[in-house]
Amino acid sequence: MDRVLNLVALVAILAYSCSAEDFDCELSGATSDTNIDQDLIKLAHNVGSVTYKDTANKDDYTISLCQKVASDPAVTSKNGDKSTTLGVTNQVQTALYGNEWALISFGGGDNYTDGNCAGKHRRSYIHITCNAQTDKALVKSAKSFIKTGTCYYLFEIDTKHICNEQNPNDKDGQDNKSEDNKKGTDSQDNGNNSQKIAKSGGSSGMSFFSILLIVVLLGVFFYFSIGILYKRIYLDARGWEQLPNSEVWFGLGDKCVGLLDRLRYGGASRPDRYYNNIETGAQAFSQETDDANDDNLLSM
């Protein structure tokens, strides 16, 4: 029995040592508030060390996410014989692990000597995304932000080690996934249709000018209704006199006629032929009367 217990203990110790060797990465936070997930340590071990050559600036970058010594550089830049530390393994400032993505930032790099970042420590952000087509981790891009006052480097890495695992022989899983995608597409179409219906319903409303016209017509209706009732009941008015401010409306008609006359005759007043005919008739009548008087005088 003791031999069996010793054998089980030995197997447990070997398994723990193997697992510890697999994840022998001395990632530690710059402060006690930085929590590093075990999955992130496993990802760092799988990614290991990658390099990137910037042909424009002639810089060679080396990113080593898994280091056995905590004080070793995690990110370095080499230009000719000059090597610069851009982040240290035990100075992790950001450690985020999401769905097929991760973000790690290392601080504690060499100080900037000039520019807007003079006196500040260099730091690097490592953005890791899923790419199932890559056999090993690859650096897609490397960018430095040292002229904007933010002072950091950004590296983007593609790897298959952060992709969600799926059994290709699991047909049920694939069918469920395709069904979920179909449901998602249908729900998206329903959402788009709802938006279209909402837009069409909103566009069927009355315009501003329609509302203004309705308000004006209602105002005219209440003006005449209340005015007619008041003058009929309290002033005992009848006929056209019941209209509120009837003098103004009748005068407005005369003014409109005068305006039309001015427009027709070019500003000159219309010739008053009626008065001219009356004056001519009066003169003829006066002349006939004088002739009759003359005849009467001769007969006498």
128 and 49 within one domain? yes
Is 261 a member of any domain? yes
The CATH number of the domain holding residue 128 is: 2.70.130.10
What total of structural domains would you count in the chain? 2
Separation between Cα atoms, residue 292 and residue 164, nearest integer Å: 132
Bridge partners of residue 103, in order along the sequence: 96, 127
One domain, residues 30 and 103: yes
Residue 265 included in any domain = yes
Asked whether residue 105 is domain-assigned, the answer is yes
- Report pTM: 0.49
Region of 108 please: left (phi>0), alpha (psi -120 to 50) or beta: left
Examine residue 54 and state whether it is found in any structural domain, yes or no: yes
Is the CB of residue 7 less than 8 Å from the CB of residue 1?
Answer: no
| 212 in the same domain as 153 | no
Residue where a domain stops, chosen among 159, 175, 194: 159
The pLDDT profile of the chain, 300 residues, written as one tens digit per residue, is 555 455 555 545 554 444 434 557 878 887 877 788 888 888 988 998 999 999 888 899 999 998 888 889 999 999 989 999 999 999 999 899 999 999 999 999 999 888 888 888 999 999 999 999 988 899 999 998 877 667 899 999 999 999 987 544 444 445 555 555 555 555 565 555 555 544 544 444 678 888 999 999 999 899 888 988 888 888 888 887 788 877 777 777 778 887 888 787 765 555 555 445 555 555 555 655 555 555 555 444
Residue 214 lies in a domain: yes
Q: Do residues 29 and 135 both lie within one domain?
A: yes
Indicate whether 196 belongs to any domain: no
Residue 279, in any domain of the structure: yes
Does residue 1 belong to any structural domain of this protein?
Answer: no
Cβ–Cβ under 8 Å, residues 191 and 184: no
User: By residue range, what is the domain housing residue 270?
Assistant: 208-293
